[in-house]
């Protein structure tokens, strides 16, 4: 059990460091212009057009680092610091989110699978906390309750790992397009790459953290609490 807590604390520290690094990179690259004056919205519109996607809208959403693509509404939602900014960070983030739109249009298998799992994971996220808590309290008399919670938690962990190839592929698509379209050049392309790599690390740590927590609950269920 001690080795588990060392692992858990290590992942927690890594998560904090990754988030802090992402915030630092966001601030740093948000101050570096692309040189062509194109805003995040402009970049998104052009990438969609270049990929023959005409049924996806580009909108803005409140907050920082809240950028996302919604396959249900076919919208690329850019945060306030990206939508109207002409920085290298804005271009990288906007292209990344459009990478998801391209995945959707091309029926990229991991994205399709993740989309199908959303309702299941939503249900699991709603109930698993109560099942896990109740299962731990009633472990000796009703262990099936904890098992049910573990199964639901396992679904969210699976979702986290399926998210990894989806995010990595979207970044690859974004970087290839940014370079090929001339949005980035030999001087700033590495900065866009660094920004997206930093964002990808957050998904890796989240998946590992979810896996570590799942193992912890499994250990409790198996009676290995010492």
3-state secondary structure of 65: coil
Q: What are the two backbone dihedrals, phi and then psi, of residue 126, each rounded to the nearest 5 degrees?
A: -70, -35
The Cα-based distances of 124 to 112, 152, 203, 226 in angstroms read 19, 5, 19, 28
As a whole number of angstroms, the distance between CA 177 and CA 103 comes to 13
Location of structure tokens 């005409």: 54
Give the residue from 209, 124, 118, 113 showing the smallest Cα distance to 165.
113
Between the two ends of the chain, the Cα-to-Cα distance in Å is 6
Predicted pLDDT of residue 226: 44
The Cα-based distances of 209 to 8, 15, 56 in angstroms read 7, 8, 33
Predicted pLDDT of residue 4: 66
Q: Quote the DSSP letter at residue 58.
A: E
Q: Which two tokens stand for residue 219?
A: 């250990």
Predicted pLDDT of residue 1: 60
As a whole number of angstroms, the distance between CA 116 and CA 125 comes to 15
Q: Quote the DSSP letter at residue 55.
A: S
As a whole number of angstroms, the distance between CA 93 and CA 28 comes to 14
The C-alpha torsion from 198 through 171 and 99 to 92, rounded to 10°, is: 60
Contact between 222 and 45 (Cβ < 8 Å): no
As a whole number of angstroms, the distance between CA 157 and CA 71 comes to 21
| Residues in Cβ contact with 3 at an 8 Å cutoff, skipping those fewer than 6 apart | none
Rg over alpha carbons for the chain, rounded to the nearest Å, is 20
Catalytic residues: 97
Predicted pLDDT of residue 198: 92
Per-residue pLDDT of the chain (226 residues; tens, 9 = 90+): 666 678 778 888 888 898 888 889 888 999 999 888 899 999 999 999 999 999 999 999 999 889 999 999 999 999 988 999 999 999 999 999 999 999 999 999 999 999 999 999 999 999 999 999 999 999 988 999 999 999 999 999 999 999 999 999 999 999 999 999 999 988 899 999 999 999 999 999 999 999 999 998 998 998 854 4
Cα diameter, the chain: 67
């Amino acid at each position: 059990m001690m080795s588990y807590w060392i692992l858990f604390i290590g992942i927690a520290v890594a998560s904090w460091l990754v988030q802090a690094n992402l915030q630092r990179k966001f601030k740093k690259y948000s101050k570096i212009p692309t040189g062509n004056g194109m805003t995040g919205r402009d970049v998104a519109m052009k990438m969609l057009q270049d990929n023959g996607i005409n049924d996806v809208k580009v909108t803005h959403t409140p907050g920082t680092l809240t950028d996302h693509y919604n396959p249900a509404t076919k919208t690329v939602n850019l945060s306030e610091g990206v939508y109207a900014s002409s920085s290298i960070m804005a271009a990288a983030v906007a292209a990344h989110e459009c990478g998801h739109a391209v995945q959707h249009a091309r029926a990229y298998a991991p994205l399709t699978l993740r989309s199908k799992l959303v309702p299941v994971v939503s249900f699991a996220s709603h109930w698993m906390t109560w099942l896990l808590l109740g299962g731990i309290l009633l472990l000796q008399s009703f262990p099936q309750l904890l098992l049910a919670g573990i199964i639901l938690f396992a679904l969210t962990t699976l979702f986290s790992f399926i998210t990894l190839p989806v995010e990595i592929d979207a970044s690859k698509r974004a970087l290839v397009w940014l370079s090929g379209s001339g949005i980035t050049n030999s001087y700033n392309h590495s900065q866009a790459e660094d920004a997206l790599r930093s964002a990808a690390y957050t998904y890796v740590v989240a998946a590992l953290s979810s896996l570590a927590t799942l193992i912890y609950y499994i250990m409790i269920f198996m009676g290995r609490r010492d």
